């Protein structure tokens, strides 16, 4: 059944869909066309794929086509299949200036940034949106697993694919004319629809790695932009040296694999970093070093009018919700308290606020505390 979508002067409502070359945006376009919208596809080129390397350090070419060009070809094939036009836009400079530079700056500070969140804020829902308006868009759509109802940003129906965490820095204004067509669907249903329409993306695997940069040898990739500075690995339980790290930027709090320090490595995990002394702290058995009970959050972005005194938060994507009490310090800084204790809360990561299914907004973890004191090793 078609639901014809008109604007107030009788024309079809025009929707510009961000076509990534993946199955989610492909099905988003199908659903919108079935609903009667005038659908236009728009593919974003945000990274110079010629600098890409695979996990072995070799140029990522597939039949002499780099992955980004393959994504464009897949998006084009989908648009031709369902009968909509596809435009292409280049945001390489903007991505570098607003997302990748931020990513590198945070790593230099010893923090763990999430570039996908900033990509949504500055590229997908800003630069992309402006281009869509130039194409005459009444609405903008993406393949995100999220929902908007009554002006509220809600989690996607598929709890395993919900992407509101990555939308937490997008403003309410930016979301005012956004459609999320697959937000009410399970991933399995999305693939079923793609197969029903015979789309090339129906069985294409989901993208991983850094947003728009893709899968690669992370250490080798970063070494092109930041110098490797080896230093001591210290067991924080007895302050003895147990090995040498290859650069603090390559390690995350709670990490257990890939430490390459020998001996009891399989039982060791990262608990902190000292940027000034270039020390990586690990622990062998005491997980208490990973546990905090409060955190200072800045770079606050509220999507909702609700400013809760209690709510749940996610400190990482795919993490379970954590109950917190919210202390408001000023307009751009709050403290969340979680006396039950949470492992591996990490500076630089996002803290995203929820009331039930509603995503209220989010901020960036500035400082991690225990017993009202900053953890000295973070």
189 and 51 in one domain?
yes
DSSP state of 134: H
Q: Is residue 218 in a domain?
A: no
Q: Is residue 232 in a domain?
A: yes
pLDDT exceeds cutoff 90 at 142: yes
**pLDDT for 223:** 83
Q: Are the C-beta atoms of 359 and 303 separated by less than 8 Å?
A: yes
pLDDT exceeds cutoff 80 at 263: no
300 and 178 in one domain?
no
Q: In 144-258, at which residue ranges do the beta strands (DSSP E only) sit?
A: 146-149, 152-155, 178-179, 231-235, 240-245
Find the mean pLDDT for residues 14-38.
97
How many structural domains comprise the chain? Answer: 3
- Confidence band, pLDDT 50/70/90 cuts, at residue 66: low
Q: What's the distance, Cα to Cα, between the start and end of the chain in Å?
A: 56
Domain of 36 in residue numbering reads as 14-196
Candidate list 5, 66, 79, 211, residue with the active-site label: 211
CATH code, domain carrying 72: 3.40.50.620
**Tens of pLDDT, residues 31-42:** 999 999 999 999
- Confidence band, pLDDT 50/70/90 cuts, at residue 10: very low
- Confidence band, pLDDT 50/70/90 cuts, at residue 375: very high
Q: Is residue 330 in a domain?
A: yes
153 and 32 in one domain?
yes
**pLDDT for 2:** 45
Percent pLDDT > 70 in the chain is 88
CATH code, domain carrying 231: 2.30.30.280
pLDDT exceeds cutoff 80 at 16: yes
121 and 103 in one domain?
yes
**Tens of pLDDT, residues 117-140:** 999 999 999 999 999 999 999 999
Confirm whether 211 is a catalytic residue: yes
Identify the domain boundary among 285, 308, 327: 285
> Radius of gyration (Cα) for the chain, nearest Å?
22
Give the chain's mean pLDDT.
Answer: 90
**Tens of pLDDT, residues 299-322:** 999 999 999 999 999 999 989 999
**pLDDT for 285:** 82
pLDDT exceeds cutoff 60 at 63: no
**pLDDT for 7:** 56
**Tens of pLDDT, residues 151-205:** 999 999 999 999 999 999 999 999 999 999 999 999 999 999 999 999 999 999 9
Q: Are the C-beta atoms of 335 and 296 separated by less than 8 Å?
A: yes
Find the mean pLDDT for residues 254-278.
84
139 and 64 in one domain?
yes
293 and 264 in one domain?
no
pLDDT exceeds cutoff 60 at 51: no
| Spatial separation of the C-alpha atoms in residues 276 and 279, rounded to whole Å | 8
- Confidence band, pLDDT 50/70/90 cuts, at residue 61: very low
**pLDDT for 211:** 58
**pLDDT for 65:** 54
301 and 271 in one domain?
no
| Residue of 220, 258, 255, 262 whose CA lies nearest to 241 | 262
**pLDDT for 48:** 74
**Tens of pLDDT, residues 212-255:** 555 556 777 788 888 889 999 999 999 999 999 999 999 999 99
| Spatial separation of the C-alpha atoms in residues 192 and 198, rounded to whole Å | 10
Candidate list 119, 311, 351, 359, residue with the active-site label: 119
151 and 22 in one domain?
yes
What are 261's two structure tokens?
């320090």
Confirm whether 5 is a catalytic residue: no
| Spatial separation of the C-alpha atoms in residues 248 and 246, rounded to whole Å | 7
- Confidence band, pLDDT 50/70/90 cuts, at residue 11: low
Give the residue, 211 or 26, on which the prediction is more confident: 26
């Amino acid at each position: 059944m078609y639901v014809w979508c008109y604007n107030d002067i009788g024309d079809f409502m025009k929707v510009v869909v961000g076509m990534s070359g993946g199955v989610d945006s492909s099905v988003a376009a199908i659903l919108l066309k079935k609903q009667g919208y005038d659908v236009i596809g728009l593919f974003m080129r945000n990274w110079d794929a010629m600098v890409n390397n695979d996990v072995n350090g070799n140029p990522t070419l597939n039949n002499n086509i780099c992955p980004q060009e393959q994504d464009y070809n897949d998006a084009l094939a989908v648009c031709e299949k369902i009968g909509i036009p596809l435009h292409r836009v280049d945001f390489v400079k903007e991505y570098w200036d607003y997302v990748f530079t931020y990513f590198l700056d945070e790593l230099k500070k010893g923090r763990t940034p999430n570039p996908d969140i900033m990509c949504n804020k500055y590229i997908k829902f800003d630069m992309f949106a402006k281009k869509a308006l130039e194409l005459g868009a009444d609405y903008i759509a993406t393949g995100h697993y999220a929902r908007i109802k009554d002006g509220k940003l809600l989690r996607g129906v598929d709890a395993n694919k919900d992407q509101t965490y990555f939308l937490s820095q997008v403003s309410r204004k930016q979301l005012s004319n956004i459609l999320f067509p697959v937000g009410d669907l399970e991933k399995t249903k999305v693939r079923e629809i793609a197969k029903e329409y015979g789309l090339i993306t129906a069985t294409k695997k989901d993208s991983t790695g850094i947003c728009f940069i893709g899968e690669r040898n992370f250490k080798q990739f970063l070494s092109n932009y930041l110098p490797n500075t080896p230093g001591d690995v210290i067991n924080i339980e007895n302050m003895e040296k147990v090995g040498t790290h290859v650069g603090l930027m390559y390690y995350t709090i709670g990490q257990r694999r890939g430490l390459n320090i020998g001996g009891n490595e399989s039982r060791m995990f990262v608990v902190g970093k000292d940027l000034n002394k270039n020390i990586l702290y690990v622990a062998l058995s005491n997980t208490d070093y990973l546990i905090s009970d409060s955190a200072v959050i800045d770079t606050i972005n509220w999507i909702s009018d609700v400013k809760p005194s209690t709510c749940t938060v996610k400190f990482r994507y795919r993490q379970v919700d954590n109950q917190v009490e919210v202390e408001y310090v000023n307009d751009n800084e709050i403290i969340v308290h979680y006396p039950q204790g949470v492992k591996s809360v990490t500076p630089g990561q996002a803290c995203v606020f929820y009331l039930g299914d509603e995503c209220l907004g989010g901020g960036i973890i500035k400082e991690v505390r225990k017993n009202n004191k900053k953890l000295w090793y973070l």
